[in-house]
Structure 1
Amino acid sequence: PLYRLLGGYQEQLPVYASAGFYAQDKGVQQLGEEVAGYIERGFQCVKIKVGRQPDALLNPLHQMPATDYATVSFEEDVARVQAARAALGPTRKLAIDANNAWTPSLALKFMAAVKDQDIYWLEEPVATDDLDGSALVAHQLTTPVSGYETETGLPGFRDLITRHAVDIVQPDVIWTGGITECRKVAALAQAFGLPVIPHVFSSAVATIANMHFIASIPNGSWLEWDQNPNALRSELFEEPLTVDATGHVRLLDRPGLGVTLNQATLERYRIDRHRP
């Protein structure tokens, strides 16, 4: 297996449920019920979205065609976090992801409002290129700051790490130059004593590649497990990627990535592009 050729530090990985997305018909109660469902499936860590306040300065929502889509107030967002924590109980882990929605001051205000919710990490609180802002947030909080999935190469991660703008390093194999480049990022993170929790949010190919990456490094931690329906993740391989009852996924003892593409799925979702 590729991960073993590259170091083989883990044969099974703890995964977290990447979930808690906004929707027009999903209130605080529905979010709590959703999170409870992940516990029943064995997940020991859940991440939910935060930051969908339309009146927040510089919020990326302002660039969207429908800025009122599934938005919530600051107070409602705090209540969402409280509901998720109540569903998880005191021992399981809760992370939150702002997707670059806040200014540093708003990030600190929100974290003060949820200071008693035992947040495991805060992901992407500010814009990826706001290194000073991210460093300010990281220095002010005892909660680790994670980021930034939208950084695309070693030089950018060098700046995030050396300027202490993140406490958890978050590359993605399909966005950050492949497994080789991500391993360089991970080595730099290791030199600074930082863990790596990759961003994983695409097809099954992206998932399996990130699995081998994170299993091959000594400072690999959790693996993101997207809970959105995605046929190109759930149906793309002959060998299904499944989470066991303890919240882990095991890598297969086969050469390379260890999986076989399902040709029927490829044909079903194939798009023939027009070429002039």
Structure 2
Amino acid sequence: MYDDFASTLAATMWADFDEQPDRDGPTAEITDVNSIVIDGNFPWTIVTLETDQGVTGIGEAYPSPGVHEIITDYLRPVLVGENPLDVERLYYLMRESLSGRGSQWGVGTIAISGIEIALWDAAGKILDQPVYQLLGGKLRDQVRVYADCHAGEAMVSSAAEGQETATYEPEAYAKAARMAVDDGFDVIKFDLDVPSGREIDTLSRHFDPPEIEHKRSVVEAVTDEIGDEAEVAVDLHWNFSPETAERLCQAIEPYDLAWIEDPLPPENTDAMRELKRRVDVTLLTGENRYGRHGFRDLVETQAVDFLAPDVPKTGGIAETKKIADLAEGYYQALVPHNIGSPVATVATAHVGATVPNFVALEYHAREVPWWDDLVARDEPLIRNGRLEVPDAPGLGIELDWDAVEEHRKRS
């Protein structure tokens, strides 16, 4: 039923999208689209796009329930038979085919994002060009990567064998910071919306002075340990009210943090802009925004300093580049959010290589020892806090499918 519906809808929409353009160059045809989930520290949803040229494009969709069903039941029938080189046309076709079903915001956009990345990978392989070249060429050969660090239970599980540390105490964060910096990262980030050991009502988003002091002491411990060896950022995960966020920002202002991420819930740009007006710190947000239209008010009102689109979530590679281009007109910088596998990470690196206002790319899998094993290459992707942008066609990496199968999520 879904196949018939989607096929009929796609045929109807050609009146808006015109016929497939004539071309003298390479052509191909999509024969299948599917997805599998790798059981990492997040459920990494890998998208595969098969073509009649024997080329398989790989992409990644942000972890979300329902993505596989949208890809296979709604988007596969729309795409099979299409030319994967028409990446932009197919992006808009997918959006139209899911109109009213989340193509503007939410899980529908996430599914589209994963396929869009796979389309770029397939197109690059067919044209024998890296994705960054298809986007207009690179401005930098490598991108800066920042390490998302943890303390508490996450630190205990990733620390050296036999090492124990106090959960959520400032000293634990200092040790985690030292480990990341010793690994070569010169930008690190910590979650600051963490338990202090006191019983509080977190739903109110109001934190009393002792809670603010706990957060301040964590920042102090980390910055004292690291000094000027690395920049330090913190993530608040939308868990603070405007008055509490203001007090917290003022409390940690003396530590000159690289940025303070998501201090307020994501829906209200006016509240974020007002917070920015009242504090003297660098603010970042964006992982819960979709597409350039979802970022427009953040950019036009200059409500934050840094923007954090998530490539497998916000619309894909080209859409993220358009967000960066929009932001560049207002001198805002890009610090992409990323909790993904090597596929999402490399896809984001291609964007970061092609826009001038890129600062750093998040890496959120230091506690996953087999993260690099997913890629069929001998050297790790990230070395000394940098990722060399691959020059091979497409995304420039291939998955080790034996490793993927070993870590595949079983239902």
Q: Which residue of 1 aligns with 2:263?
A: 125
1:5 lines up with 2:5 in the alignment: no
For 1:113-262, list aligned pairs within 5 A: 113-230=251-368, 233-239=371-377, 240-245=379-384, 247-262=385-400
Q: Which residue of 1 aligns with 2:176?
A: 34
Q: What is the TM-score when the length of structure 1 is the normalising length?
A: 0.87
Q: Which residue of 2 aligns with 1:18?
A: 148
Aligned positions, number: 261
Deviation at 1:27, TM superposition (A): 2.0
Contact 1:58 1:101 in 2 (8 A): no
| Relative contact order, higher structure (CA 8 A, sep 6+) | 1
AA partner of residue 46 (structure 1): I
1:55 lines up with 2:197 in the alignment: no
Aligned-residue CA RMSD (Å): 2.1
Deviation at 1:48, TM superposition (A): 0.7
Deviates more, 1:20-29 or 1:195-204: 20-29
Deviations 1:13-69 (A, max 9, x none): 111111135548342112111101112111111111112364345449xxxxxxxxx
| Runs of 4+ displaced beyond 6 Å | none
Q: Which residue of 2 aligns with 1:267?
A: 405
Distance in 2 (alpha carbons) for counterparts of 1:52 and 1:130: 23
Given candidates 186, 193, 199, the residue that maps to 1:44 is 186
Q: What is the TM-score when the length of structure 2 is the normalising length?
A: 0.60
Distance in 1 (alpha carbons) for counterparts of 2:409 and 2:183: 34
Distance in 1 (alpha carbons) for counterparts of 2:323 and 2:152: 31
Distance in 1 (alpha carbons) for counterparts of 2:259 and 2:326: 20
Deviation at 1:242, TM superposition (A): 3.3
User: Which of the pair is proportionally richer in helix?
Assistant: 2
Distance in 1 (alpha carbons) for counterparts of 2:205 and 2:340: 24
Deviations 1:112-136 (A, max 9, x none): 1112111111111100102111111
Deviation at 1:100, TM superposition (A): 0.6
Go from structure 1 to structure 2 and tell me whether the alpha carbon gap of 1:241 and 1:158 turns closer, same or farther (over 3 Å shift): farther
Contact 2:235 2:262 in 1 (8 A): yes
Deviation at 1:272, TM superposition (A): 5.8
Deviation at 1:229, TM superposition (A): 2.5
Contact 1:45 1:92 in 2 (8 A): yes
Deviates more, 1:45-54 or 1:15-24: 15-24
Distance in 2 (alpha carbons) for counterparts of 1:58 and 1:112: 20
Distance in 2 (alpha carbons) for counterparts of 1:117 and 1:30: 18
Contact 1:203 1:230 in 2 (8 A): no
Go from structure 1 to structure 2 and tell me whether the alpha carbon gap of 1:237 and 1:30 turns closer, same or farther (over 3 Å shift): same
Deviates more, 1:118-127 or 1:262-271: 262-271
AA partner of residue 382 (structure 2): V
Question: Helix, strand or coil: the match of 2:334?
Answer: coil
Percent of aligned pairs with the same residue?
28
AA partner of residue 20 (structure 1): H
Deviations 1:75-129 (A, max 9, x none): 2221111111011103521111101111111111011111211111111110010
Go from structure 1 to structure 2 and tell me whether the alpha carbon gap of 1:232 and 1:137 turns closer, same or farther (over 3 Å shift): farther
Structure index of larger Rg: 2
* Alignment gaps of 5+ in structure 1: 61-71
Question: Helix, strand or coil: the match of 2:185?
Answer: coil
* Alignment gaps of 5+ in structure 2: 1-129, 154-165
Deviations 1:213-269 (A, max 9, x none): 111112111111224433673321112543333x22211221111101101112213
Go from structure 1 to structure 2 and tell me whether the alpha carbon gap of 1:263 and 1:90 turns closer, same or farther (over 3 Å shift): closer
Contact 1:135 1:166 in 2 (8 A): yes
Go from structure 1 to structure 2 and tell me whether the alpha carbon gap of 1:272 and 1:201 turns closer, same or farther (over 3 Å shift): closer
Distance in 1 (alpha carbons) for counterparts of 2:256 and 2:408: 44
1:83 lines up with 2:221 in the alignment: yes
Distance in 2 (alpha carbons) for counterparts of 1:269 and 1:42: 27
Contact 2:250 2:279 in 1 (8 A): no
Deviation at 1:190, TM superposition (A): 0.6
AA partner of residue 4 (structure 1): Q
Distance in 2 (alpha carbons) for counterparts of 1:221 and 1:178: 19
Q: Which residue of 2 aligns with 1:74?
A: 212
